[in-house]
């Protein structure tokens, strides 16, 4: 009888212990799912943020390229400041040709109309000279310059707004990492046991460090990277005036009307064309460090070269010169534009080195609107650059997550009725049965803990050789095994006993990385 009662008690305790273990295992699974979901969700936020930075970096670079194109077109316009002075030289040449056709020669009849044409050409040359010295064309170009400055300011504000949005997103990620929890994930995974589930902040510092190490902080290096990016993506025309004759035809479709003097003009408009040699001979535009290109000295640009790589972008620079050709009546001629050509080019520079000159002496006026072209500053460090590391994982950020709960509380938020002890300790004490009390612990009284790691990584599908960067939006997130180093630096913070256990299991022959999730 007594033996049977004892057997029933022992059997009941075994059943209770089994149920307790079932609940604890179930809650452990729920907690691990929660930790995995939290780590992965935070990693997805980081990946999406990095992809956003890639898109906005491209937009910022595109805005700087637009500035370069604007400088190229403005430089072309500046070249026209000497247009009437150069066309006066052309008309003088044509006047001489007309005069030569006026005289009688053996076997050639006299053609007095050419004498009148020569007089017309000389008068046109005089009118063009008067207009040139009055600076009428320069004043027209000043209006264009004001519009160009407005566009530059708008592009600068656009870049500033994009960079401010990047900083806001970057700070938002830091806030999310510092909270230690994420949205409704806890309630979704732990149900009513969420009330006894906590999110320790022990790993927040590691997550913040991982996120901050992603970004390059050296502004000088960032300026070099953006300068090289802009110079590499310039339009061909801005780069070296490729297709220049065609481009000039599109830029100056009514060149004849602009040449025609407002003071004195006789006869037809004639046909006028500005011709530039491509390949950087007659003009260049790009980001420079000092406001001029290699081989350029102020207004002299005879043997210039394109900027080298790895220069610190501080200025946006451009220069232009061309050959002006004109046909009028029965003559044709040509002159340099500006008048001294490569010895006195039209040039424009914005940023740290500012200039806007129409030639060597600027006798016909300077086409600037009073702005020194130092505003806005280029500030080419206004973007986010990836700080690539020397070894794996190359500063690609990891996200760690941990959570703790009371494993004896089920998804309904209740302890089981099988917990005999009224004090909620899960321990049964049998007193007055011998020299010492009998103690039987039916469940684990220690908090249940879970740890998870996610990796944010860069992968351009089909091209593993593309190194991590924040100009291409190919950032992804995945759950990832721990490294041996993280056993000591991260898991130990969460649970030193677990770190020792995992480290020991790793050393077991045949245990391998898979069994203990070690990379």
β-pairing, 427-430 vs 438-441, is antiparallel
Residues 186 and 232 in one domain: yes
**pLDDT tens-digit readout, 374-417:** 566 788 999 999 999 988 889 999 999 988 888 778 777 777 66
For residue 332, the model assigns a pLDDT of: 95
Question: Are 471 and 492 part of one and the same domain?
Answer: no
- In Å, how far are 420, 467, 468, 484 from 390, measured between CA atoms? 59, 12, 12, 18
* Contact by Cβ (8 Å): 353, 264: no
Residue 246 pLDDT: 78
List the chain pLDDT tens, one digit each, 519 residues. Answer: 777 776 776 676 666 666 667 777 788 888 889 999 999 999 999 999 999 999 999 999 999 999 999 999 999 988 888 899 999 999 999 999 998 888 766 766 777 888 899 999 999 999 999 988 888 888 888 888 888 888 988 999 999 999 999 999 999 999 999 887 777 888 888 887 788 787 888 888 899 999 999 999 999 999 999 999 999 999 889 988 988 877 778 788 888 888 988 889 999 999 999 999 888 889 999 999 888 898 888 888 888 888 888 888 888 899 999 999 999 999 999 999 998 889 989 888 888 877 788 876 666 666 665 445 556 678 899 999 999 998 888 999 999 998 888 877 877 777 766 665 656 666 777 777 777 877 766 556 678 888 899 999 999 988 888 899 999 999 999 999 888 777 777 777 777 666 665 665 565 554 444 445 544
Looking at the structure, tell me whether residues 398 and 494 fall in a common domain: no
SS3 assignment, position 477? strand
β-pairing, 448-458 vs 438-441, is: unpaired
Asked if residue 80 is part of any domain, the answer here is: yes
Contact present, 271 and 326 (Cβ < 8 Å): yes
For residues 507 and 446, state if they share a domain. Answer: no
Q: 11 Cβ partners below 8 Å, 6+ apart? A: none
The verdict on residue 371 lying in a domain is no
Residue with tokens 């973007």: 383
**Dist CA 473 CA 468 (whole Å):** 10
Residues whose CB falls within 8 Å of the CB of residue 226, separated by 6 or more in sequence, listed in order: 60, 61, 64, 287, 313, 380, 381, 383
Facing residues of 4 across strands?
none
SS3 (DSSP) at 228: helix
31 and 148 belong to one structural domain: yes
Cα 61 to Cα 382: distance, rounded to the nearest angstrom: 10
Q: Are residues 490 and 464 in the same domain?
A: no
Examine the domain organization and report whether 121 and 181 are in the same domain.
yes
257 and 173 inside one domain = yes
Per-position b or e across 55-64, b if 16+ CB within 10 A of its CB: ebbbebbbbb
DSSP letter for 265, please: -
Task: Give the phi and the psi of residue 455 in degrees, each rounded to 5.
Answer: -120, 130
Residue 368 in tokens: 């600037």
Residue ranges making up the domain that contains 511: 481-518
- CA 226, CA 217: separation in Å to the nearest integer? 14
Give the pLDDT confidence score for residue 137 in this predicted structure.
84
Query: Both 442 and 508 in a single domain?
Result: no
pLDDT at 287: 93
The confidence score (pLDDT) of residue 513 equals 46
Domains of the chain: total: 2
148 and 253 belong to one structural domain: yes
* Dist. CA 230–CA 223, nearest whole Å: 11
By CB atoms closer than 10 A (0-12, 13-18, 19+), residue 393 is: middle
Tell me the C-alpha distance between 37 and 446, whole Å: 23
Sequence length of the chain is 519
pLDDT of 67 reads 92
> What is the DSSP-derived secondary structure letter of residue 483?
P
């Amino acid at each position: 009888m007594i033996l049977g009662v004892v057997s029933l008690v022992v059997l009941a305790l075994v059943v209770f212990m089994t149920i307790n273990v079932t609940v604890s295992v179930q809650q452990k699974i729920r907690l691990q799912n929660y930790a995995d979901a939290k780590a992965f969700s935070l990693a997805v936020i980081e990946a999406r943020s990095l992809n956003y930075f890639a898109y906005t970096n491209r937009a910022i670079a595109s805005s700087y390229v637009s500035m370069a194109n604007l400088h190229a077109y403005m430089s072309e316009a500046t070249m026209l400041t000497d247009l009437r002075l150069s066309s006066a030289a052309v008309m003088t040449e044509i006047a001489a040709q007309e005069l030569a056709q006026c005289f009688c020669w053996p076997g050639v009849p006299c053609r007095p109309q050419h004498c009148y044409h020569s007089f017309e050409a000389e008068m046109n040359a005089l009118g063009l000279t008067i207009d040139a010295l009055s600076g009428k064309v320069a004043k027209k170009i000043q209006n264009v310059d004001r519009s160009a400055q407005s566009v530059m300011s708008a592009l600068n504000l656009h870049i500033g707004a994009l960079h401010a949005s990047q900083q806001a997103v970057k700070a938002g990620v830091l806030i999310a990492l510092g909270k230690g929890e994420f949205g409704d994930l806890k309630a979704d995974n732990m149900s009513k046991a969420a009330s006894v589930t906590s999110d320790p902040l022990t790993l927040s510092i590691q997550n913040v460090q991982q996120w901050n190490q992603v970004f390059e902080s050296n502004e000088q290096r960032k300026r070099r990277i953006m300068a090289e990016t802009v110079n590499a993506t310039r339009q061909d025309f801005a780069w070296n005036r490729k297709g220049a004759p065609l481009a000039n035809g599109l830029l100056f479709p009514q060149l004849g009307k602009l040449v025609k003097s407002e003071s004195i003009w006789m006869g037809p408009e004639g046909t006028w064309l500005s011709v530039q040699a491509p390949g950087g001979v007659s003009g260049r535009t790009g980001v420079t460090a000092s406001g001029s290109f290699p081989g350029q000295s102020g207004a002299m640009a005879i043997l210039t070269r394109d900027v080298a790589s790895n220069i610190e972008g501080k200025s946006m620079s451009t220069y232009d010169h061309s050959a002006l050709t004109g046909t009028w009546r029965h003559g044709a001629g040509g002159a340099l534009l500006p008048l001294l050509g490569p010895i006195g080019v039209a040039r424009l520079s914005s940023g740290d080195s500012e200039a806007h000159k129409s030639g060597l002496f600027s006798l016909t006026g300077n086409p600037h609107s009073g702005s020194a072209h130092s505003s806005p500053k280029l500030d080419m460090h206004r973007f986010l650059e990836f700080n690539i590391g020397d070894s794996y994982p190359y500063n690609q950020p990891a996200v760690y997550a941990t959570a703790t709960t009371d494993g004896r509380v089920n998804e309904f938020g209740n302890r089981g009725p099988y917990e005999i002890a009224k004090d909620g300790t899960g321990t049964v004490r049998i007193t007055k049965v011998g020299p010492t009390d009998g103690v039987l612990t039916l469940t684990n009284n220690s908090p249940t803990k879970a740890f998870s790691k996610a990796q944010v990584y860069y992968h351009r599908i089909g091209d593993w050789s593309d190194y991590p960067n924040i100009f291409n939006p190919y950032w992804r997130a995945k759950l990832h095994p721990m490294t041996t180093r993280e056993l000591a630096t991260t898991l130990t913070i969460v649970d030193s006993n677990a770190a020792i256990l995992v480290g020991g299991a790793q050393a077991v022959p045949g245990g391998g990385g898979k069994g203990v999730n070690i990379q």
